[in-house]
Structure 1
Amino acid sequence: MTEEKLVRGISRWDLLAITINLIIGAGIFGLPGAVTKAIGGYSLIAFAVCALIVALIVLCFAEVSSRFTATGGMYLYAREAFGAAVGFQVGWLYWIVRVTTFAANCNLLLNYLGFFVPSANEGWLRTLLIGLVVLILTAVNFLGVRQSAILTNIFTVGKIVPLIVFVAVGLFFIQPENFSFSPTPETGSFSSAVLLLIYAYVGFEAAAIPAGETRDPQRSVPFALLTALAIVAVLYILIQIVCIGTLPELADSQRPLADAAGKFMGSFGAAFITV
């Protein structure tokens, strides 16, 4: 029997798009308000500090991924370093983490959908829509490597373009008086805010999993990891600047980006970010 080989249909730029898509999840759409409530204007510093902390982890992934060409990511690294038992544990624990994260993402998605359909905020319709989202995204993964990569590129553009527009337009409507750096938060509060923001930066680790389907993975995976983190970190800080500068009630907002967009782009802007 001949061993079935995976098709290396993912290019370096495809993997970069995948990594950006993995990192930019529900976190940035919900956390600007929570972190502002905790530490006010110092949330800008917290975003930067969190990015630096995550960068240390990303550098480790970049170094290790440059040594492998096979699929598996963290499972593969743990298995090769510590044996099959540890690899098994890491694989399953990571799967549980991803399922939990996906559930949180679906929950926030429905919170934003509630902007258009208030009944989606609770009850049977909310449960039905979450199930539908899961089925659609599962079906996408059955289309094949190249088709999935193309769809991921489309999803990434559809996700990042509204955020870029949000920043580009919002920067012209910033009110400097909205920025407050008093009082100085306690160390514990600042640390808790940074810990909370890690949720907005995770996801990059999954970029190493499809290495066996990526062209020149020993170069492509480190490139995608480091470039994606740099792009996302800058974008997040700019988003937080716009949120603070345009939405005085940011600390109490459940849909901070939509509410902020509504301030300077009207109902169309809020709908644009929500979609």
Structure 2
Amino acid sequence: MTKQKLGLASIVLLGFNSIIGSGIFLLPSSLYQLAGDWSVALILITAVIVATIAFCFAEASGYFSQNGAAYVYTKEAFGPFAGFEVGFLKWMMQCIAWGVMAVALTNILANTFGFEENQMLRNGIIISIVGSLTILNLAGVGAAKLVNNISTLAKMVPLVLLIVGGVWFINPEFIMPTISSAPAETAEHSLSFETLGSALILCFYAFTGFETFGTAAEDMDNPKRNLPLAIIIVILAVTVFYAAVMAVSVGILGPDIANSSVPLADAAKVAFGDAGFYMITIGSIISIAGINVAASFHIPRALLPLADDKMIPAVFGRKNDKGIPTVAIIASGLVTIPIALSGSFTTLAMLSVVTRFAQYIPTCIAVLKFRQRFKDDESTKKNFRVPFGPIVPVAGVCICLWLLADQSMTKILVGLGAMVLISPLYFIARKRAAEQHVEPATTKA
């Protein structure tokens, strides 16, 4: 049976779903508090910063067609142990993140329909969200692709309508950057050296998600061509989209946006009345539902390369006759449900800091190594290359170190501690593989 795969358009939509989530509905208010009328300009500045890392992922994805993204790039550049640390911790963190998103969707539904105090119903909805998406993925790539495409388009429609309709209500003075002569401590909602770092980091995290694109490379049509192209298209399109949303919301509400708990809905109410308010509210529900769909597709496939390389039991890489990784899908769902029901995410969420940069930094460095390794490989001559030689990858590493330095030592220690704790799993798996005389799978270049 021919296996259905994601074409370029579906990969791009999956990328939108991976990046654009519920955060966009709150970003305008939070960013304005830090940057004031520099908010729109800061989106564009941050996009350049993000591109230094995202484009390294785009180049790296052109060398390999195997599932795994940063796991594959790290393993190939720095060896199997480094790859295992990145790959397994990444899968763990993605399960935690999916649990958080399932709870977030449940909270929105509970607030909308008034069952905040009914914990049994909330738990039932959490289980239903994760369980139904697990079943959806067991049905195959075609079913997951259809739901992903629909959810992406459905959440984009109200935001596009807000941009198109709201542009006529913009006050240009609200979005034109100005240099304030007032001291930073007395200037309200004004960009300063004290707030610049926090504002850039807030914007940066709004763009994250591009690192997950290549996790399911084997389910994509011609990934060595389409995946780099999709990453570039999505980053550029998300930049324009974020800037437009920010311009409309800030341009309509002005300084009042800093005090709004639902800035896009309030801006839509000005432009379209109550209908606009409810349009954006429904859009926020669809948006976070879409993030859950994208997560449910990416997460199981993060286990496949680990299983193929005998770093975890081979059963997790088992696929049915349609090429669906049934065991990995079920395992990911079973791990996510208790995490979501526990409600204790604070410490677990700290893992995300080290996990994220454990993917970014090795990938940026790996690009330089791959250029040397594949310089005589004719099949890679037409691949996407990040311009300006080593400048962009080196800049990406420096940016990661700067962002990591901004984090609390507690978060860093929790993440590093988790990496130490999972280390024995690698040596146990390698010992078993050696005892069985099983050679590790080679990466598909």
Partner of 1:91: 87
Q: Is the 8 A contact 1:115 1:274 kept in 2?
A: no
Partner of 1:265: 272
The two structures have a TM-score, normalised by structure 1, of 0.88
Partner of 1:29: 25
Matches within 5 A, 1:124-139: 124=119, 126=122, 128-139=124-135
Between the aligned partners of 2:173 and 2:122, the Cα distance in structure 1 is 39
Partner of 1:225: 231
How well do the aligned residues superpose, as a CA RMSD in angstroms? 2.4
| 1:185 and 2:191 correspond | yes
* CA gap 1:166/1:9 in 2 versus in 1, 3 angstroms: same
Partner of 2:401: none
| 1:73 and 2:80 correspond | no
Q: Which runs of 5+ in 2 are unaligned?
A: 181-186, 283-445
Structure number with greater CO (CA < 8 Å, separation at least 6) is 1
Q: Residue type matched to 2:242 in 1? A: Y
Match of residue 15, structure 1, among 11, 24, 31: 11
Q: Which runs of 5+ in 1 are unaligned?
A: none
* CA gap 1:214/1:23 in 2 versus in 1, 3 angstroms: same
| SS state at 1:215 partner | coil
| 1:53 and 2:49 correspond | yes
Rg (Cα) greater in structure: 2
* CA gap 1:256/1:123 in 2 versus in 1, 3 angstroms: farther
* CA gap 1:177/1:60 in 2 versus in 1, 3 angstroms: closer
Between the aligned partners of 2:4 and 2:137, the Cα distance in structure 1 is 16
Between the aligned partners of 2:28 and 2:123, the Cα distance in structure 1 is 26
Q: Residue type matched to 1:57 in 2? A: I
Partner of 2:35: 39
How many aligned residue pairs are there? 270
Shift of 1:166: 1.1
* CA gap 1:220/1:149 in 2 versus in 1, 3 angstroms: same
Between the aligned partners of 1:83 and 1:105, the Cα distance in structure 2 is 33
Shift of 1:202: 0.8
Between the aligned partners of 2:84 and 2:215, the Cα distance in structure 1 is 15
Between the aligned partners of 1:131 and 1:203, the Cα distance in structure 2 is 24
* CA gap 1:34/1:123 in 2 versus in 1, 3 angstroms: farther
| SS state at 1:116 partner | helix
Between the aligned partners of 2:39 and 2:272, the Cα distance in structure 1 is 24
Partner of 2:260: 253
Between the aligned partners of 1:79 and 1:232, the Cα distance in structure 2 is 30
Q: Residue type matched to 2:232 in 1? A: L
